[in-house]
Amino acid sequence: MSPGTPPAPEPLPPARGRLLLLPLMLLVIALGLGSRSAMAAAYLPRFFREYAGDTLWASMVYLCLLFALPRLRVRHAAAWALGISVLVELSQLLHTPWLDALRANRFGALLLGRGFVASDLVCYAAGVVLAAGTDLLWARWRRAMPPHPVSSGTQA
């Protein structure tokens, strides 16, 4: 590379499979809702019940970003997921009639929350780290796998 030449752009990561992301998203939703259920109250420690839902919420934001943009780099997906999560939490400091009406709906409350809680910001960071770390481990595992031989449909 000559002195005036800019470095080559970093190659895009391989696309994540949406067929894998979709069941993973459904699992995260089920775990998040389950963490707030009566069964969770009976069997899970209080710490887990209080913070798992918010942690998984941020992981879900990360997964939604990957579903929409499967070639998004991990660091970009993590930054966007954390940024969106923090903005949604900060939006809970705003109270307008239409926003409060939206939050009064169960789906609106699950999507936007009801009231600002500073500890949620820590949960969001943990959820994004969990999701991005899992994404990195999955990519490393996929690279370590031997390539699949292409079958021609005939036997030798």
Confidence band for 13, pLDDT divided at 50, 70 and 90? low
User: Is 59 in contact with 21 (CB distance < 8 Å)?
Assistant: no
pLDDT, residue 33, reads: 93
Res 149 pLDDT > 70:
no
pLDDT for 101 equals: 93
Token pair recorded at residue 70 = 């499967």
Percent of the chain clearing pLDDT 70 (strictly above): 87
pLDDT band at 2 (very low <50, low <70, confident <90, very high): low
Residue 152 has pLDDT above 60, yes or no: no
- DSSP assigned state of 115: S
Contact by Cβ (8 Å): 63, 25: yes
The reported pLDDT for the residue numbered 145 is 73
Q: How confident is the model over 118-140, as a mean pLDDT?
A: 95
The confidence score (pLDDT) of residue 78 equals 98
**Residues 81-113: pLDDT tens digits?**
999 999 999 999 999 999 999 999 988 988 898
- What is the reported pLDDT for 139? 85
Give CA–CA dist 11/98, Å, rounded.
44
Give one word for 60, left, alpha or beta, with left for phi > 0 and alpha for psi -120 to 50: alpha
**Residue 108: which H helix or E strand, with range?**
helix 106-112
Q: Residue 141 contacts by C-beta under 8 Å, 6 or more apart in sequence?
A: none
The reported pLDDT for the residue numbered 142 is: 78
pLDDT digits 0-9 by tens, 52-89: 999 999 999 999 999 999 999 999 999 999 999 999 99
pLDDT given for residue 100 in this prediction: 92
Determine the average pLDDT of the residues in 122-128: 98
Task: Give the sign of the dihedral formed by CA 43, CA 47, CA 50, CA 55.
Answer: negative
